[in-house]
Amino acid sequence: MTQDALIERLSAIVGSDKVRTDADSLQTFGKDWTKVYEPKPSAIVFPKTTEQVRDIVLLANECGLQLVPSGGRTGLSAGAVAANGEVVVAFDYMNQIAEFNAVDRTVKCGAGVITEQLQTYAEEQGLFYPVDFASAGSSQIGGNIGTNAGGIKVIRWGMTRDWVAGLTVVTGKGDILQLNKDLLKNNTGYDLRQLFIGGEGTLGFVTEATMRLTRPPKNLTVLVLAIPELDDVMKVLNQFQSSMDLTAFEFFSDKAMSKVLARGDVPAPFESNADFYALIEFEAITDADMDLSMSLFEQCVENGWVVDGVISQSETQAANLWRLREDISETIAQWTPYKNDISVVVSKVPPFLREIDEVVTREYPDFEIIWFGHIGDGNLHLNILKPDALPKEEFFPRCNKVSKWVMEIVQKYDGSISAEHGVGMTKKAYLPYTRSEAEIAYMKAVKAVFDPNNVMNPGKLVDM
Amino acid sequence: MTQDALIERLSAIVGSDKVRTDADSLQTFGKDWTKVYEPKPSAIVFPKTTEQVRDIVLLANECGLQLVPSGGRTGLSAGAVAANGEVVVAFDYMNQIAEFNAVDRTVKCGAGVITEQLQTYAEEQGLFYPVDFASAGSSQIGGNIGTNAGGIKVIRWGMTRDWVAGLTVVTGKGDILQLNKDLLKNNTGYDLRQLFIGGEGTLGFVTEATMRLTRPPKNLTVLVLAIPELDDVMKVLNQFQSSMDLTAFEFFSDKAMSKVLARGDVPAPFESNADFYALIEFEAITDADMDLSMSLFEQCVENGWVVDGVISQSETQAANLWRLREDISETIAQWTPYKNDISVVVSKVPPFLREIDEVVTREYPDFEIIWFGHIGDGNLHLNILKPDALPKEEFFPRCNKVSKWVMEIVQKYDGSISAEHGVGMTKKAYLPYTRSEAEIAYMKAVKAVFDPNNVMNPGKLVDM
């Protein structure tokens, strides 16, 4: 198909003002936050309805086009990068929030609704959308669903998967499916909705979703604890979790915190230092909750697990304590960190982390390792900082070697090579470290059912 | 294959003492709680390991056998009935609980572990397995997973789906898959685990599952309220749910309660009567929780929604109040009730229920209708009692007519023809009222991926 014919056919579907081929748009909409692949889409198309998406998919099947979905483009695995002349389907105009239902506590969103837009909308209704993460200001609901986005509150509220009441999707065959009809209980065979959640747009594109909301948390209170021994972090987790419903249990290393503190705009939580810190958040609804948390804290001190701690007395203090954890990513960005997003079951975190730390330190003693993550979920963000003196060209190939070692350790510990960032293109080669050969074969067969001509986000997740 | 050859081949896999063909066993293991189909299995086989299950599946593929899984046989949709000479694979010997992990709060169970066995085990560890329902004393974990069992605590703790950390399954092709490795976060492509949950054994059999446990609830307290108007039941739900985390919100009609009270062994909750009652359960951890519930109750009275109410002051009182709801099923069993297990989104419950009630009452004024259910989930159990004078032979054909009307109303309200009981054989004809033609076509194609020779529970859910 010539470029002119392509533009004509796409324009016939969405209108000529909703097809872009200028260099800027191709560059912007052809990529996500990864910088590994050069974007090279052939066109960007902006549908406004599910039916237009269907017509684009039918055209793709007819003419052998390949389609890449584009949401907030905040992905970290190149799941939404168009590097091979694909047509990018951008959901920016499908950003309506509609049909709020106060009794069901659900809200219907176009795929292009921005996470923060939904969070704010929920707040305005006196409710709460609990999935939250650093890119909430730009990421879109469709992308969140495609990658089953997680974030900082998973321990209490789960992943995006847990908040999807119903989905409208266009499959790779061009069928429009209404999945689950927003029901809480619906045991009528295979829950196909679950395949599209986390499916990275490879089976079809989500065009609309009904999301659940919940009651807002009350008086979220933050404890930051200094914990010298990694094993004791897990004991502290267990101690707190067995008597309280935590809303977050995050951790970060002293190296991570010292980078944040060095910026000078976040106060140190206390004078003590320890190799690790835990950030615990909970609802202090009554004084009893506060008392319980203090008594748990004291027990942790008595047991020798914790050497210092601080508890927030106000929302501002809570926000400042959160910055110790949340500012890490942005703070270390200047060192061009090599990132891995891995997970194991919670109980295996200490030996798993130690083994990776040892291997990297042994092989590359000049590399600085920054650990942080959602330790209550077993999800660790491993960040390796580029030594200032080392050129990028040497740093990244050495990191690729590190990745191989890391993935082998992930496999040894029955872990996940991608806890929350998805597979896309950058993790594809590592998929067999988490999923068996047989599983991958079934995944390909499932893909062929929904997208027999491989038009939906080809080259992501699995190769057909 | 001759019967002798069949027994020989099966015995070679599991040992001759684990193959039964006596009339009693065929009758017992060939059916579930439904009484619609006559059991006619050709043999019952009792594997003890996942590998034995795999070998049975391979044999089925080789020799054209058809396999039906058998758990606690408490199903209500004939999902585990072997009516066509199938070989029944019974999981009774795969009932080991192993590998409890206190930090991860997970426990690995054989498919044959009984729900109550898991609940008790959790309690012994100071933890809680929250999925609970009437058949917990006999239903097995494998069956719970195959049907995504729900029950009375879904509003707070979700369905079985939410507690499955990892699965071992044998697919219809005879592959053993370890799905999800018990991880909390694992975004590595299609979550195949979700297909087997609620898949009714039609894609493969679950042989082992890692189940999550949680902290036990504290001081569960029960409120029963008398509510004259159905619409006000929803308002009460909304009022409570917006300020408290409820663990149950059940409802039953006055007709339902009067049957239970007539037995004489459960005390009446109060002197007032109303058309509907709501049973609300919550954790009263502190006095503040109790105070809040009382103030919500008072607001409901002031608004004119509630005319009377009682709150439990002890565990015994709470248990007695629960009996008002939980004894309904058993109490009405003597009237050979015709049961439907249907759901809509919560906000649609009142018009939905009224419309069904009106149609049935108009067409069959001699039928008594008993409503109860998990109204907080939009899940209604519609029970039609057989008039004493009407013979069964006339009652059931008339009920089949009712079913058709009910299903049409379900479809009109975008509801589910099976909220928690699954599809099996008895609901198969009604599947198109909830799932579209396209969805059913995809379901069949997915089935063909995992079970190309249709050996796994054939004739259930969909016809191939």
Domains and CATH numbers, chain B: 1-216+434-464 (3.30.465.10), 220-329 (3.30.70.2190), 336-433 (3.30.70.2740)
Please provide the average confidence, as pLDDT, over all residues in chain A. 96
Please tell me if residue B192 touches chain A, with a CB cutoff of 8 Å: yes
Q: Residue B452's closest chain A neighbor by CA? A: A445
State how far the Cα of A83 lies from the Cα of A39, in Å rounded to an integer. 5
Please tell me if residue B346 touches chain A, with a CB cutoff of 8 Å: yes
A positions 116-145 inside 8 Å of B (CB): 126
Distance from CA of B447 to the nearest CA of A (A): 9
In this predicted model, what pLDDT tens digit does every residue of B34-54 receive, in sequence order? 888 999 999 999 999 999 999
In this predicted model, what pLDDT tens digit does every residue of B47-76 receive, in sequence order? 999 999 999 999 999 999 999 999 999 999
Contact A187 B415 (CB under 8 A): no
Asked if the ipTM is above 0.90, the reply is: yes
pLDDT band (50, 70, 90) for residue A78:
very high
Instruction: Kindly list the residues from chain A whose CB atom is less than 8 angstroms away from the CB atom of residue B154.
Output: 184-185
CA-angle at A364, arms to A363 and A370, nearest 5°: 120
For the record, the structure tokens of B69 come out as 């899984």
Distance from CA of A203 to the nearest CA of B (A): 10
Please tell me if residue B232 touches chain A, with a CB cutoff of 8 Å: no
Contact B439 A414 (CB under 8 A): no
B positions 30-49 inside 8 Å of A (CB): none
Contact B150 A178 (CB under 8 A): no
A–B CB contacts, 8 A cutoff, strictly below: 243
Please tell me if residue A461 touches chain B, with a CB cutoff of 8 Å: yes
What is the pLDDT at residue A27? 97
Q: Residue B374's closest chain A neighbor by CA? A: A185
Mean pLDDT, contiguous 10-residue spans, chain B (464 residues): 95 98 97 92 98 98 98 94 98 95 96 98 97 93 97 93 98 98 97 98 98 95 97 94 92 96 93 95 92 96 97 95 94 90 96 95 92 94 93 90 94 97 96 98 98 98 96
Contact A427 B188 (CB under 8 A): yes
For the record, the structure tokens of B12 come out as 């070679």
Contact A106 B345 (CB under 8 A): yes
Please tell me if residue A346 touches chain B, with a CB cutoff of 8 Å: yes
How many CA atoms are closer than 13 Å to the CA of B15, on its beta-carbon side? Answer: 7
In this predicted model, what pLDDT tens digit does every residue of A373-412 receive, in sequence order? 999 999 999 999 999 999 988 998 999 899 999 999 999 9
Closest to A345 (Cβ–Cβ): which among B182, B377, B447? B182
Contact B103 A346 (CB under 8 A): yes
- Preferred mutation among A100, A152, A183, A185 to probe B, highest tally of B CBs within 10 A: A185
- Preferred mutation among A188, A436, A449 to probe B, highest tally of B CBs within 10 A: A188
- Helix (H) or strand (E) holding A61, with range, is helix A50-63
